[in-house]
Amino acid sequence: MTYTYHDPAELSDALALLDEHGEDAHPIAGATAFTLMYRQGLLRPGHVVGLRGIAALGGITRGSDGSLLIGATATYREAERSPPLVLGFIYQRPGYAGGQLLPAPRMPQQAGDTVLTDG
């Protein structure tokens, strides 16, 4: 089975694609969880919406209420250099920090919802 890969540049475009394709679409940032579940046959979307190129989903900041906001495409390097975080990274490797905070579930039923908003 194959899927159509979409690479939107704007968050509004990603949201429109996810809305248009509904349950047949899956958003990805780093793709580790997606790759594992796809190889195991646990996930078979017809459309994959890439989030890496959306600048609004990067970075690490503090919210006005003091909450920590980690973008879906925030990298380990950004986390390491981010003033809001006090983290000690024992090792370096390519990847996205969000994928390590929310690792691949063992079964699709355990997967949490990814929330994308434009405001």
- Would the pTM of this model clear 0.75, i.e. be above it? no
Question: 36 pLDDT exceeds 70?
Answer: yes
Nearest alpha carbon to residue 37 among 26, 24, 49 = 26
CB of 58 closer than 8 Å to CB of 74: yes
Give tens-digit pLDDT for 39-61: 999 999 999 999 999 999 888 88
Residue-level pLDDT at 90: 45
3-class secondary-structure state, position 13:
helix
In the chain the domains, ranked by start, together with CATH numbers, are 1-55 (3.30.43.10), 58-96 (no CATH)
- Given a contact cutoff of 8 angstroms between Cβ atoms, the answer to whether 49 and 84 are in contact is no
Q: What is the DSSP letter of 12?
A: H
> For residue 7, with 0-12 CB atoms within 10 Å meaning exposed, 13-18 middle and 19 or more buried, which class applies?
middle
Q: Which amino acid is at 21?
A: H
Mean pLDDT of 30-42: 87
pLDDT digits over 108-119, tens only? 443 444 444 444
- Which residues face 26 on adjacent strands? 48
Q: Encoding tokens for residue 12?
A: 């509004």
Question: Across residues 90-107, what is the average pLDDT?
Answer: 49
